[in-house]
Amino acid sequence: MKITLILFSLVSIGVIRCNKIAGAEELHRRIINGLRSEEREFTYVVNLLEMNNNVIYPVCGASLIRNNLILTAAHCVQCDHNSIADADVGNLFIVYNAVHLHRGKINKVIAGKCHPKWDIHAAVNDIAILKLKHHVADSVELVKLAFIDDFKGMMPSACLVVGWGDKKHTRRVFDTDHTDNEPLPTVSCLNNCEQHKAPISLISTERCDRMMRKVTSTHFIATDGSQICAYGNTTDACQGDSGGPLICDGIQYGIISWGIGCGEEEVPGVYTKVSHYSKWIKQTMNELSKSM
């Protein structure tokens, strides 16, 4: 059974990108056995891409939490003292507001912060907020986050994961938020350029721990309440979707973080629990909103 930590991997210079880390394989995730999303069904779900030679490649998912801020997983970016490293600023973009990547709008990431206790080896505190160069239009829906004071009682069981796959296809994106005559990069996506959704159910940490122990002796859910698990029988998030949202009743409860395999029977996925980070999210949103 392969371990699919939905983490970026390491290239030769040590930057977190897509190969192997901490004994894990295939460190991105994309939707398995899902359905194509309807147009404008999830306008707050965006695709995070990285530029190389003026071509941008999908690497992760994310969600719009303000008109110029997105929420994603810390493993989706290179962190330097809790902030986005200079190597990533200027090389990260988002495409949003369309099911198909080549029909979406493009925007640039200019800053961001990772959680100060993000640990790539333990895969905990896997959360980051990025700032965009241009505000998106007010007509684009923002996601509602499941802050601890926003809900009472038991968390919902019926949820969705949303994201893109990685089918090889390259084309220039013409629609952009750029207003300063910057050259437009070309978007290259692999296997599947369309956004998909898949039903999935939240499960208790106790059940998650029991299921995990049947398939691994090295990777387990955090015990401090910072992670939640979800299981979809044969539906799942997989390579390319990490950083994207876990949506329950129209509210984001989790951030796709890591798992073992993709859509395998009796194997749950692990998600960063949004409500656990309510204070950090609100504080970081305010800090980034005030920054240049």
> What residues in the chain have per-residue pLDDT under 70?
1-38, 87, 149-155, 157, 165-185, 188-192, 233-240, 261-264, 292
* Residue 160 counted as domain residue: yes
Handedness of CA 219, 220, 221, 222 (dihedral sign): negative
Cβ atoms of 235 and 204 closer than 8 Å: no
Domain membership of residue 119 as a residue range: 9-290
pLDDT (tens digit per residue) in 7-17:
333 222 222 22
**What global pTM score does this model have?**
0.81
Number of structural domains the chain divides into: 1
* Residue 203 counted as domain residue: yes
Report the pLDDT value the prediction gives residue 177, as an integer from 0 to 100: 53
* Residue 129 counted as domain residue: yes
CATH number at residue 25: 2.40.10.10
* Residue 3 counted as domain residue: no
CA 62 to chain centroid: 4
Residues annotated as catalytic are: 126, 242
Measure the N-to-C terminal CA separation of the chain; round to a whole number of Å: 46
Report the pLDDT value the prediction gives residue 15, as an integer from 0 to 100: 28
* Residue 39 counted as domain residue: yes
